[in-house]
Amino acid sequence: MQGFANKDALLTTISSRKATFYSRSRSTLWTKGETSLNFINVSEIFLDCDRDSIIYLGKADGPTCHTGSETCYFTSIDDMISSQAEENKLALTTLYALESTINQRKEDSGSANGKPSWTKRLLLDDNLLCSKIREEADELCCTLEENEEKSRTASEMADVLYHAMVLLAKRGVKIEDVLQILRVRFSQSGIEEKKNRKA
């Protein structure tokens, strides 16, 4: 574990041999184990080369992390990065799969395998498509204004996304083109971009 220590915390640790720290939020000394009874019995204390960091070496009576883990350092950054990458991949796969279905409907004549297709109806009727996009966007806003369940917000966003993606297909614009624009905007503040637009 890692904690902040001041001179008093260090002096207390030296005399009690129990790892003691200073809480900056509570402005008080605290000894690891005073609540959990999982004390750290300190045998040696080392200062680092420029004397702004200390290591308490000792034997712990139990888990040192408040989560019950043996150590607080149980989160692997490499694992975090790869699970994030998996989530990103899944999001992209979902969007590309939906885009591909919509494009198939565009190529189908009449209906999808003889079945009625909502996508096809939208693709054939600009007024219906635009009115649905506006309607779904309004329903998304209502989930905020009327403080609806988070699941309603997710569902309405799915409706907005799907209907907007039908418009993209109709216009022959790829979702990748949209994502590319979003990526370019990562490095720019929206306020600054608007200011520069007016100038």
Return the ∠ at Cα 188 (arms to 195 and 93), rounded to 5°.
Answer: 130
β-strands 40-47, 54-60 pairing:
antiparallel
Residue nearest to ligand PRT (CB): 119
CB 101, min distance to ligand PRT, A: 5
- Binding footprint of ligand PRT on the chain (CB under 6 A): 98, 101, 105, 112, 117-120, 136, 139, 159, 162
CB 182, min distance to ligand PRT, A: 20
Given the complex with ligand PRT, which of 72 and 112 has the nearer CB atom? 112
Given the complex with ligand PRT, which of 22 and 162 has the nearer CB atom? 162
CB 67, min distance to ligand PRT, A: 39
Return the ∠ at Cα 41 (arms to 36 and 45), rounded to 5°.
Answer: 130
Residue 180 in contact with residue 113, Cβ under 8 Å? no
Q: Beta-strand (E) ranges in the chain? A: 20-23, 28-31, 40-47, 54-60
Given the complex with ligand PRT, which of 1 and 178 has the nearer CB atom? 178
CB 99, min distance to ligand PRT, A: 10
CB 156, min distance to ligand PRT, A: 7
Burial 31-70 (b: 16+ CB within 10 A, else e): bbbeeeebbbebeebeeeeeeeeeebebebeeebeeeeee
Given the complex with ligand PRT, which of 148 and 159 has the nearer CB atom? 159
Given the complex with ligand PRT, which of 113 and 147 has the nearer CB atom? 113
Looking at the chain, how many residues does it have? 199
Interhelix angle 150-171/126-145, rounded to 10 degrees, is: 160
CB 89, min distance to ligand PRT, A: 19
Given the complex with ligand PRT, which of 32 and 163 has the nearer CB atom? 163
Cα gap 123→106, rounded to integer Å: 7
